[in-house]
Structure 1
Amino acid sequence: MVSTVLAHDLLWGMTPAQLPADAPEWAVESLNAGQPVVVRRALADSGFVAVGVRGVAREQRLAAFMAVDSIACRVSPEALCNVESLRDLPVVHALKQLRPMLDDCGWVWGVSGSAGFELASGIAAMHADSDLDLILRTPQLLPRNQARKLVELFDQVACRVDMQLQTPFGAVALREWAGQSAKVLLKNAHQACLVSDPWNPQEQAA
């Protein structure tokens, strides 16, 4: 279980007892209600994983650490690709429209953010102004011209679509990689740094 936990995975099993002593009441209520937490990119002590607790309001987000032994269930973003929602929302329509194209893109993709949270848990998190947050597993370089084609595709749907490219060395925003800047921001558990090639381990070591 430990080796398979990745950023954006949803985990069930964390208890309020694992929250910081000064945690807000909404975080306690979320865990008492059996809600999942989301894995975040941060260093954690052995036996723990860095997670975020989600509340009802957008500003209700709390960074915490979950004991690995407490993990009862894990759902990855890619496990949510074909989960349907009957809600009449722009984000739902956008996902439905993009799904066949993403399935054919040649890369493993997944749903994160509020859409992923709701599709995995059944707890209402999407609303009329929700963005669609996606991830793309890119173990090898994604050419920038292909990234631009994805952005063009995303800009044709009913809501804003934000995709993170998950490289072996961290995550980079698709829209940044598709842009004209020579360097882009690569984020991992250790740092956030500007690189020209997010797939080059020597750049991260520099």
Structure 2
Amino acid sequence: MVNAILAHDLIWGMPPEQLPADAPAWVIDSIDAGQPVVVRRALCAAGDIAVGVRGRLREQRFATVMRVDGIQRRVKPEALCHVLIERDLPAVRALDQLRPMLDDCGWVWGVSGSAGFELASGIEALHPQSDLDLILRTPQPVCRSQARELVNLLDAALCPVDMQLQTPFGAVALREWAGSTRKVLLKSAIGACLVDDPWNPQEQAA
């Protein structure tokens, strides 16, 4: 699991000629500028990997695929936990605030979303209204009471924080798992489905 290419990994090396003919100009500009792409959860042909291209605007997101053998560099979200940036923004302050507590939580965690993109690439992606997006590697089940404790921790942060639990079979929102609803939405490469237990592979196959 650690060495596999996973959703939220940032990768470099996609050539512009691999983009589809209908790619918007901003997508071509982003790739020409040497920006990384982010790995998505989606099925694709052997030798390809599903990725997304980010633009400067929030609505500028483009889904495509990249050849695996073209990858020149990869940065995982957990490699960004202790990367520092000197920008006085709520998401940056929230990350500084949460870092020691997450380090002590007993799970591997990482930074994704706009914060992860900026930490990995040095390209400014955060703004004053940005949320902080985090992931938690959870190969073993997290009980709902533990999830609620984590939500309480995140709710004390200096900006809104979203966390995804990365199970071996997909991802589930921490806040959803901490809630009272019995079934939660599990997102995987084959799509999204409602499950009782995100760590049970038989549910996804059902």
The residue aligned with 1:178 is 178
Distance 2:44 2:31 in 1: 20
Q: For residue 37 of structure 2, what is the amino acid of its counterpart?
A: V
Q: CA deviation at 1:69?
A: 1.1
Q: Report how many aligned residue pairs link the two structures.
A: 204
Counterpart CA distance in 2 for 1:42 and 1:96 is 32
Deviations 1:154-201 (A, max 9, x none): 111111100000001100000000000000000100021101110111
Structure 2 counterpart SS, 1:4: coil
TM-score (norm 1): 0.98
SS in 1 for 2:63: strand
Aligned counterpart, 1:158 = 158
Matching residue of 1:149: 149
Q: Does 1:88 align with 2:93?
A: no
Distance 2:205 2:27 in 1: 37
Secondary structure in structure 1 of the residue aligned to 2:189: coil
- Does 2:199 correspond to 1:199? yes
Q: Report the counterpart of residue 97 of structure 2 in structure 1.
A: 97
Counterpart in 2 of 1:26?
26
Match of residue 127 from structure 1: 127
Amino acid at match of 2:57: A
Deviation of residue 77 (structure 1)? Answer: 0.2
SS at the partner of 1:182?
coil
Query: What residue is the counterpart of 2:139 in the other structure?
Result: 139
Q: Compute the displacement of 1:114 (Å).
A: 0.1
State the match for 2:11 in structure 1. 11
1:42 aligned partner: 42
1:15 to partner: Cα distance: 1.2
Name segments (4+ residues, structure 1) moved above 6 Å.
none
Shift, 1:73, TM fit: 0.1
> Deviation per CA, 1:9-47, whole angstroms, max 9, x where unpaired?
000000111111010000000000000000000001011
**TM-score, normalised to structure 2's length?**
0.98
Gaps of 5+ in 2: none
- Work out the CA distance in 2 between the residues paired with 1:175 and 1:17: 40
**Per-residue deviation at 1:63?**
0.2
Cα displacement (A) at 1:120:
0.2
Measured in 2, the distance between the counterparts of 1:148 and 1:85 equals 29
CA distance in 1, matches of 2:201, 2:15: 37
For residues 43 and 200 of structure 1, the distance between their equivalents in structure 2, rounded to whole angstroms, comes to 20
In 2: Cα distance, 1:146 partner to 1:162 partner: 16
